[in-house]
Structure 1
Amino acid sequence: MNATIAAATYWDQYNGITHYNGETLNVFERLWAAWYAYMQNDVLATGIMSFVMHEVVYFGRSLPWIIIDSMPYFNKYKIQAGKIPTAAEQWHCTKMVLLSHFTVELPQIWVFHPMAVFFGMDTGVPFPPMWKIAMHIAIFFVFEDAWHYWTHRAMHWGPLYRSVHKIHHNYSAPFGLAAEYASPIEVMILGAGTVLGPVLWCAITGDLHVLTMYLWIVCRLFQAIDAHSGYEFPWSLHHFLPFWAGAEHHDVHHERFIGNYASSFRWWDFVLDTEAGPEAAKARRDRKLAKDAKKAKKAQ
């Protein structure tokens, strides 16, 4: 890409990039390049963009669930019937989440650009093709789900639960805003799964664009907030993708405080027999009875 002209405003930068690269870059790519050219500081440019994106997506995706919680029509879809969060609970959660975002997540976001550059992550234009972005995001979902399962399961060990994870279980009937309502230690440990996958992938392959990272974080935020929504609809994704976890899977975890440790998928809980809920408990009893009957038959 040709060097951008020295300009006083963001739109001057955009117009300069359009003049020299209008044939090779699409509108979004020109907007992206103009932002970095205007800021004249890549760490600042990435930091501001990352933090604003996180806040807009997190609270923007939580807002529909706040509205749904206030509409009696949707009560019939509430998994834990009747346990609708009050306005006071929503406001308390919002304040705690904002405090965590500014004191825990903002410093981590600020060092993201140097880390990305160190591992060879591309921040320029043009952007990678959509098929590659989709493939990378799918890989990151699988990695994060495995990380989340094992770290989350570890946090239910007595001492870790009491000192770290118990805060997140303050709400036995979760709601969207509570997705990141957790202790600073938990935010860092579980959040590491979202960042480590892309960083490791980039370190190994040398092929990752920060835009893919952003889109992955957007998908992950949507997944986490929806999993904490507390609602099960006929059109919920797990009805079409049986291996998808969703709100029905995670809500049981909050209600029973054990089992269903994975974030996005059901296979870890299924394979390692940590599924929660009455159906899973019945399946375990049936397997035990069948096993005992088989042993008794052999002993005869």
Structure 2
Amino acid sequence: MLPHTQNTYWHEFSEISKYNVQLNYFERLWAAWYAFIGNDVLATGIMSFLMHEIVYFGRSLPWMIIDRIPSLNKYKIQGQKVPSAKEQWDCAKLVLLSHFTVELPQIWFFHPLAQFFGLSTTVPFPSIFTMAYQIAIFFVLEDTWHYWTHRALHWGPLYKNIHKIHHQYSAPFGLAAEYASPIEVMILGLGTVSSPILWCAITKDLHILTMYIWIVLRLFQAIDAHSGYDFPWSLHHFLPFWAGADHHDTHHEKFIGNYSSSFRWWDYVLDTESGPEAAKRRRERKLASSKKAQ
């Protein structure tokens, strides 16, 4: 073999495959990437950033296409407000700027921080069960963080100076999920990153693949919540505690209430739900309370 071919990714994959037959195909691909780059911080940084960009814009693209299909407009929550191509482009520019100036440095710093707390990047991968229950915990932790910080961002000065940018679109669309002030991106993004790090610090049991799957699912959740569409097969119709697009769309339309990201329970328990049904329940409670007082 010629010397210049020995530094390729596929050469590393071939070598690892020879001596690690116990690893599955994807584990060998993973190990070859780290061996090929030769620097764990660089390998994780490149992979993390590329994954984020591909998933974010890849998941946003179907919603952009759906916006251009008139027959699907009946499923749009605010049917009269379809974003124009200019609005989509303006949004994409700010999101890209935020990704490169705010999120990229955070992603690069993530590996050393996570390694300090015991994050694993080696193979074999953890079991599906392990990843599933850990991700479920991350969803609950992030939702709690998101509720309280998002609610705080609606306090006068914080709303005016930070959160107002995100509310530029009263009828949200998928691409606008991360359309926000750099400060807000850091504050709310901290919930996504710190939940796994906190878990890792306590248990010393977390693989970066679990982290990646969690971030992919969180991106899907955020983009879908901003999609502006409520289909009969949308998840909240099967899981009543799931927030979904109808929950967050109302938040953008009314500019208050429905502060949670993934679930509905914080808004329900603390009576911060927004929308006609929530207003009706409040009126009924108030009426029942006044009758009881008489």
Query: TM-score when scaled to structure 1?
Result: 0.96
Counterpart secondary structure, 1:232: coil
> In the alignment, residue 10 of structure 1 is paired with which amino acid?
Y
Between the aligned partners of 1:60 and 1:273, the Cα distance in structure 2 is: 35
Q: Is the CA contact 1:79–1:230 (under 8 Å) kept in the aligned structure 2?
A: yes
| Equivalent in the alignment of 2:14 | 15
> In the alignment, residue 11 of structure 2 is paired with which amino acid?
D
| Equivalent in the alignment of 2:284 | 286
Between the aligned partners of 1:8 and 1:106, the Cα distance in structure 2 is: 27
Between the aligned partners of 1:8 and 1:240, the Cα distance in structure 2 is: 50
| Equivalent in the alignment of 1:33 | 31
Select the residue among 135, 142, 145 that pairs with 2:143.
145
| Equivalent in the alignment of 1:3 | none
Select the residue among 54, 60, 63 that pairs with 2:61.
63
Between the aligned partners of 1:30 and 1:137, the Cα distance in structure 2 is: 24
Q: Is the CA contact 1:149–1:261 (under 8 Å) kept in the aligned structure 2?
A: yes
- Correspondences of 1:1-300 after superposition (within 5 Å): 7-22=6-21, 24-296=22-294
Which ranges of structure 1 fall in alignment gaps of 5 or more residues? 1-5
Between the aligned partners of 2:250 and 2:8, the Cα distance in structure 1 is: 52
> In the alignment, residue 189 of structure 2 is paired with which amino acid?
G
After TM superposition, the runs of 4+ consecutive aligned structure 1 residues lying more than 2 A away are none
Say what the alpha-carbon RMSD is for the aligned residues. 0.8
Cα deviation, residue 8, structure 1: 1.2
Q: Is the CA contact 1:7–1:38 (under 8 Å) kept in the aligned structure 2?
A: no
Counterpart secondary structure, 2:83: coil
Between the aligned partners of 2:42 and 2:6, the Cα distance in structure 1 is: 18
Query: TM-score when scaled to structure 2?
Result: 0.98
1:16-36 alpha-carbon deviations (Å, 9 max, x no partner): 0000002x1000000000000
Q: Is the CA contact 1:14–1:30 (under 8 Å) kept in the aligned structure 2?
A: yes
Cα deviation, residue 7, structure 1: 3.6
Between the aligned partners of 1:149 and 1:97, the Cα distance in structure 2 is: 22
- Matched residues, number: 290
1:229-263 alpha-carbon deviations (Å, 9 max, x no partner): 00011111000000000000000000000000000
Between the aligned partners of 2:106 and 2:196, the Cα distance in structure 1 is: 15
| Percent identity for Structure 1 against Structure 2 | 75
Which ranges of structure 2 fall in alignment gaps of 5 or more residues? none
